[in-house]
């Protein structure tokens, strides 16, 4: 009888084990922020075929599922994979192969770095990006004179941090056939005493970039894979690439389908006829890793280079109000054809005049409440009378919080005491529709979404300046900031049913952090590191 009981007991155990469901991955013993509608918490979840099948306590999940891979999160915070709602993924990757001028403190330092870069890269163009004259003791734009002496024969093009201005030497200007006195819409070829300075603003930048030799397929592949690697290391699992060509999309698609490029991308095609023709003919492109259904249009330039279009002149440049990069008719025609073909329009607008112009054009097309999710990228300076247009027509402001903490040192100089109060106004923008997607605009800003979170909530730079935070009336709560870089960013991409939160049926895109963003002390927030990043239940980064 005793042996019989033992046999029955063992059989029961085997039966119980056999009744467990199969999972590919289990995450247990975590502090899981699901970011669902209730902002609920869990300890564990199971993943099958790249998607979450169940969440709950560790005991319940382990009792119900077996898996070949079980992650013990050891009580660490687990968040949905971060989504960057506005970046330049391909451009960032390509820039990794060029001279990095971010953080330089003088023109002289740049010249020294370029000499070293040229010694290592002895042929072809010298390309660099990331300089910002606002970070220098002498905050004046440089000219090309010393570049011409150092590099009389090699063309040089150095992009400002925001990409809205470049310094080019004479060799580059000659190749582009740029001459003094040259005029164009939405840009400026800057001269002094009738001579070229080498400074090109906004649309004038294109005069040089179009003669730069294109990268090879292997170079572009390396650029994309390098960009993905760096994104995974900071917890990004989806990136919105704002403004590339359809040929780039086809190349990205081929790398993703081959399994080489594991980053999920939401792509906005650039405002060019060839891209309209391509997408209107082929329709929206949607795979698990690629989503193409929108167009990126440029309304104006940047505040730092005084190319943002303002309703009244710059405080520190009387007589200059900036400019639109195209005439209003162009934006109206673009909006009409994008609406007719049921695509999303995403327009860069920095200045209060540019924002008003684009908001009113959107309003004329959208007519009223809608779910088109047309976006204004940056929405940086908005006239107080115009905020309501975002809500009245469900226009989505897509903002980058580190812009506020990068620009705060000189924004008041540009805008004046009153106008700056309605700049970087994230709380005011959030209230319009009740949700607000967040991004970085990398490589204009740092790629790290933890800095986005910190700038949103604390409104300080990484040196914890200013002491009380910058215009704290527009700071976001920690919950709002997390939603902005997960579920609200997904919603801006029409992807909230498949990502942006950790829920049953959604992709198992998640990150495990060494600190809990929701509870860690303010000063330690920027020090938060990613332990692991998973996309579709597959590990893509481990510290």
Q: Could you tell me the CATH number of the domain that includes residue 478?
A: 3.20.20.140
Question: Which among 125, 131, 300 is positioned nearest to 199, based on CA atoms?
Answer: 131
Partners of 191 in beta bridges:
196
Same domain (yes/no): 27, 160: no
DSSP 488-500: HHHHHTT-TTTSS
Nearest-CA neighbor of 402 among 378, 422, 386, 418?
378
Q: Helix, strand, coil proportions of the chain in percent (round to 5)?
A: 35, 25, 40
- Report the distance separating Cα 164 and Cα 203, nearest Å: 8
Residue 162 and residue 129 in one domain: yes
Q: Is the pLDDT of residue 14 over 70?
A: no
Q: Which pLDDT does position 18 carry in this prediction?
A: 57
Q: What is the per-residue pLDDT for 359? A: 98
* Exposure b/e, 134-168, CB count within 10 A at least 16 = b: bbbeeeebbbbeebeeebeebbbbbbbbbbbbbbb
Q: Looking at residue 12, what is its pLDDT? A: 46
What is the tens place of the pLDDT at every residue in 65-92?
Answer: 999 999 999 999 999 999 999 999 999 9
Orientation of helix 352-366 relative to helix 328-340, angle to 10° = 40
Question: Residue 3 pLDDT more than 70?
Answer: no
Q: How many domains does the chain have?
A: 3
Phi-psi region of 235 (alpha: psi -120 to 50; beta: other; left: phi over 0): left
**In a domain? residue 532:** no
Residue 507 lies in a domain: no
Query: pLDDT per residue over 130-153, tens digit each?
Result: 899 988 988 889 999 999 999 999
Tell me the residue range of the domain where 401 lies: 83-88+245-500
Report residue 342 as tokens.
């049921």
> What is the overall mean pLDDT for the chain?
95
Q: Out of 29-33, 89-93, 179-183, 362-366, which region has the weakest mean confidence (pLDDT)?
A: 179-183
User: Do residue 195 and residue 256 come from a single domain?
Assistant: no
Q: Which residues lie below 8 Å from residue 532, measured CB to CB, with a gap of 6+?
A: 71, 511, 512, 539, 541, 542, 543
**Domain final residue pick, 485, 500, 515:** 500
Whole-number pLDDT of residue 175: 96
């Amino acid at each position: 009888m005793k042996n019989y009981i033992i046999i029955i007991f063992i059989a029961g155990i085997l039966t119980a084990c056999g009744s467990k469901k199969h999972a590919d991955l289990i995450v247990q013993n975590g502090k899981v922020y699901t970011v669902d509608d209730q902002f609920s918490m869990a300890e564990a979840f199971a993943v099958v075929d790249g998607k979450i099948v169940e969440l709950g306590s560790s005991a319940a999940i382990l009792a119900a599922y077996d898996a070949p891979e079980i992650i013990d999160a050891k009580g660490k915070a687990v968040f949905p994979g971060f989504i960057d709602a506005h970046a330049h993924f391909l451009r960032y990757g390509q820039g990794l192969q060029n001279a990095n001028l971010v953080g330089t403190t003088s023109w002289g330092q740049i010249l020294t770095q370029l000499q070293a870069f040229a010694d290592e890269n002895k042929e072809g163009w010298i390309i660099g990006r990331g300089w910002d004259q606002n970070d220098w003791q002498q905050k004046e734009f440089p000219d090309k004179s010393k570049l011409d002496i150092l590099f009389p024969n090699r063309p040089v093009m150095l992009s400002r941090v925001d990409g809205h201005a470049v310094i080019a030497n004479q060799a580059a200007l000659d190749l582009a056939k740029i001459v003094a006195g040259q005029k164009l819409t939405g840009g400026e070829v800057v001269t002094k005493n009738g001579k070229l300075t080498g400074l090109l603003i906004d649309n004038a930048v294109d005069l040089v970039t179009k003669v730069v030799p294109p990268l090879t397929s292997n170079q572009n592949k390396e650029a994309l894979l390098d960009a993905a690697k760096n994104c995974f290391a900071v917890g990004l699992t989806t990136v919105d690439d704002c403004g590339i060509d359809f040929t780039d999309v086809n190349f990205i698609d081929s790398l993703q389908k081959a399994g080489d490029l594991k980053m999920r991308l939401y792509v906005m095609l650039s405002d060019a006829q060839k891209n309209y023709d391509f997408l209107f003919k082929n329709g929206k492109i949607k795979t698990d890793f690629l989503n193409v259904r929108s167009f990126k249009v440029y309304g104006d330039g940047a505040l730092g280079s005084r190319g943002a279009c303002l309703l009244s002149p710059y405080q520190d440049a009387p007589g200059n109000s900036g400019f639109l990069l195209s005439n209003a008719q162009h934006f109206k025609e673009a909006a009409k054809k994008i609406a007719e073909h049921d695509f999303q329009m995403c327009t860069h607008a920095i200045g209060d005049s540019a924002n008003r112009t684009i908001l009113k054009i959107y309003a004329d097309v959208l007519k009223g409440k809608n779910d088109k999710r047309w976006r204004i990228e940056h929405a940086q300076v908005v006239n107080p009378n115009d905020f309501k247009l975002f809500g009245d027509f469900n226009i989505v402001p897509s903002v980058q919080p580190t812009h506020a903490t990068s620009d705060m040192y000189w924004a008041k100089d540009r805008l004046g005491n009153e106008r700056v109060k309605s700049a970087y106004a994230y709380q005011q923008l959030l209230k319009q529709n009740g949700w607000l997607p967040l991004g970085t605009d990398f490589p204009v800003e740092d790629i790290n979404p933890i800095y986005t979170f910190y700038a949103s909530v604390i409104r300080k730079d990484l040196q914890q300046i200013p002491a009380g935070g910058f215009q704290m009336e527009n700071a976001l709560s920690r919950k709002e900031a997390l939603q902005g870089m997960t579920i609200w960013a997904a919603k801006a991409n029409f992807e909230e049913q498949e990502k942006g939160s950790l829920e049953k049926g959604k992709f198992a895109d998640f990150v495990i952090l060494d600190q809990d963003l929701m509870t860690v002390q303010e000063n330690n927030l920027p020090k938060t590191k990613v332990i692991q990043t998973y996309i579709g239940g597959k590990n893509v980064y481990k510290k």
